[in-house]
Structure 1
Amino acid sequence: MESLTTTSYTRSKKWTLGLIMLTVVIISWVLSSFLINDIFEKDKYRKPFFITYLNTSIFIFYLIPMVKSFIKKAIQEGSCKISDFEEIFMEYNNESTKNDEEISLTSEEEEGNPNSKLSLYETIKLSGQFCIMWYLANLTTNASLSYTSVGSQTILSSTSSFFTLLVGYLAKTETFNRVKVMGLVLSFVGVVLITKIDSDVNSEFKKTALSIFIGNSFALVGALMYGVYTTLLKFKVKDDSRLNMKVFFGFVGVFNLIFLWPSLIIFNYTGVEKFQLPSSLDVILIIFVNCLITFVSDFCWVKAMLLTSPLTVTVGLSTTIPLAMLGDFLFKGEQLSLMYCIAAALICVSFFIINKDEGEN
């Protein structure tokens, strides 16, 4: 009985920590959006694909401590072996295990071994899978803006919560119930209303029927890919204590840096995005700050997802939409209508409904 109470308390602490990290992610992503939107709106440096590539590549710096230890050991022993890197990886894993408060009961039941951490090979493999799907999700989402309106793209991207629930149900990491469906519907209605408000105050978007169909299809594929890779992480890892997060993100940066640079050349020659380095100091500073934000916030995003659930994080991130518009009101003087306040309230209520239901489960 005491063990069960302790386990429940530990789960509660983990869930709370996950929500704190999710809050950090939401605030960070809204701040990042304002910074990047500033250089996009003023047409100082409209290079979304290059910025995305750069942001992800800096994850490689997470590997610096391990690489330093590897080089030091290689110099001391006079040889350089892959097995040495694996030993260093195990040492880092053992250190993180000592710092973990307690492995959750769920992990014990599903893995059989509470200290069953992912090996170096499994971590690298997961990094490669995540990197590919993450990049494809961003690629299709950004590409959709070339064919359809921002409003349509926002609405369709918000369906990622439905895909997360569906894929999670198939992977047995989520369960269907009326409360979750009601929360998702409220969130979707809120997003639709806010997008409509945003569309009303902006210029009309005129494209052909085929172009709109292509753009909407890209947006849906991006939403589906988000649901797949978030659920994949939860399904593969299950508990945050099993994954060495720094090594995971470090190799995401390695894969992105080495294998995804050809896409920049393709985009340049096809005219999708001409390659050009930033020239002005303010743009360089904004990109640098944005890289730092991504470096911290994406780490917190995965941690929050593993500590809570993919569905909670997905719906929670929908709150970036009303928060961003609130920022427009405070810093740009844009007016907030009654409909906007209602829509924002719907999104926030949906998050609390789903979080409460997920937390109880």
Structure 2
Amino acid sequence: MAGDVLWTKLRSSWRGLSIEHRKRALGLCFIFVVALIWVLASFLVQDLESEGLNPFLLTYIANSLFIIYLPLYYLAVRLTARKRNARSSEMQETPISAGHQVMADTERTELIVDHPVDVRESVSTSWRHSHWPAMLDKQVLAAAAVVAPLWFAAQYTFNVSLSETTVTSNTILASTSSLFTYALACLLFLEVFLVSKLAFIVLCMAGTALVTIADARQADSGKTNSVGGDLLVLLSGLCYAAYTIAIRKMLQDDNSLTMMLFFGCVGFLNAACLAPVLIILRVGGFVQTAGLTLRIIGLTICKGLFDNVLSDYLWARAVLLIGPTVATVGLSMQVPFAVVLDAIFKQPAWLSSASSAALTFVGAALVLTGFFGINVASAKVEEHAPA
């Protein structure tokens, strides 16, 4: 009973929200789920690489799995087309009551009676405008062609960095992408420049600086190049910002079918264009496959399905729902997850020193404060924006 009452209250509260507030709530929910998946996947990637899985091969397999969206997309197109035709047929076959014949709008009544085919086409067109992807396949393919190389570069540098630094440092430093994203968004007039937003982003940056200092002071014995790993994370953040802005600029349509087609194209381009590179690396001995087991392959596929296929789809929807900057800064929610899980399961080097632990926790707190601050600032902008 208590559960039913709670569910009823939640539904009532949801219905009371405006469309913009619903979009923000849905986008933030997506970001929360994505943040949790990404942190858990970071630990999995770290373990897989410690067992000998090459980061390039890992990134190639995981990103290529996006291709499963193509058959899902065309299946969804066929199903929605059938529903559309069924609704059109129902509209055509529905009898006109006597009451409708004496409507004040006689011209509209005559149109319905005399031209049922036009009505069917009108309903079909209206439905398509409401539910069908607003973009042509060529436009989505063009967006995928721009995003695919940036996406792979961001994922690859991120995965390599996990073999050089801790998950906590990796996660917190990845939040620097918020500054890159905001700068590009303002430069391309996708967002309005606000001093308050910049201040909170700088707060995030200050937090990342503290974590970098802690990481450099207490280099893990198994990760002697932790600073190099930190630099790779920063490079990954720059690539992330670039493809985030590209998605917002080139897609703009928050439609599930559009997203499915887009990611399917990204997966296809990744699989087709990088296959020759993978073969060359394999022949040259840079990528080893001899030590791969069914367990490693299975975990890699699971990582790709959850960390790429599912979470990246939710993330892209969030970018279109709440904007690139808020979505990017929102991923700072990974910070508390990473700090806690890293401390429990990995016993990182920063935890063995009181000063390094203090720097890490203070840095994490600054990043979280920046996230909440920029989210509030963005919400205020939307509230005062003209309808």
Alignment partner of 1:10 is 2:30? no
**Which of residues 44, 58, 80 in structure 1 aligns to 2:51?**
44
Structure 1 residues 319, 178: closer, same or farther in 2, change over 3 A? same
- 1:218-229 matches, within 5 Å, as 221-229=235-243
CA distance in 2, matches of 1:196, 1:143: 20
1:60 paired residue number: 67
**Which of residues 232, 238, 241 in structure 1 aligns to 2:246?**
232
- Does the aligned pair in 1 maintain the 2:176–2:234 contact within 8 Å? yes
2:271 paired residue number: 257
Structure 1 residues 125, 27: closer, same or farther in 2, change over 3 A? same
SS at match of 2:53: coil
1:326 paired residue number: 340
Gaps of at least 5 residues in structure 1 are: 1-5, 73-90, 99-114
- Matching residue's letter, 1:133: L
Larger Rg: 2
**Which of residues 192, 197, 220 in structure 2 aligns to 1:175?**
192
Provide Cα deviations, 1:140-173, integer angstroms capped at 9, x if missing partner: 5556789x87799878754322221111111111
Note the aligned Cα RMSD (angstroms). Answer: 3.6
1:108 paired residue number: none
- Matching residue's letter, 1:181: L
SS at match of 1:260: helix
- Does the aligned pair in 2 maintain the 1:234–1:306 contact within 8 Å? yes
1:161 paired residue number: 178
CA distance in 1, matches of 2:221, 2:140: 46
Structure 1 residues 360, 307: closer, same or farther in 2, change over 3 A? same
Alignment partner of 1:130 is 2:159? no
- 1:1-361 matches, within 5 Å, as 9-40=18-49, 43-67=50-74, 97-98=130-131, 117-141=134-158, 157-199=174-216, 200=218, 202-203=220-221, 221-241=235-255, 244-276=258-290, 278-279=292-293, 281-293=294-306, 294-332=308-346, 335=351, 337-361=357-381
Length-normalised TM-score, structure 2: 0.69
SS at match of 1:240: coil
- Matching residue's letter, 2:295: D
SS at match of 2:18: helix
- Does the aligned pair in 2 maintain the 1:160–1:227 contact within 8 Å? yes
Number of corresponding residues:
312
Larger mean Cα displacement after TM superposition, 122-131 or 267-276: 267-276
- Does the aligned pair in 2 maintain the 1:124–1:248 contact within 8 Å? yes
- Matching residue's letter, 2:154: A
Larger mean Cα displacement after TM superposition, 135-144 or 46-55: 135-144
- Matching residue's letter, 1:292: L
Structure 1 residues 342, 153: closer, same or farther in 2, change over 3 A? closer
C-alpha displacement of 1:329: 2.3
Provide Cα deviations, 1:47-96, integer angstroms capped at 9, x if missing partner: 11111111111111112245558999xxxxxxxxxxxxxxxxxx9x9579
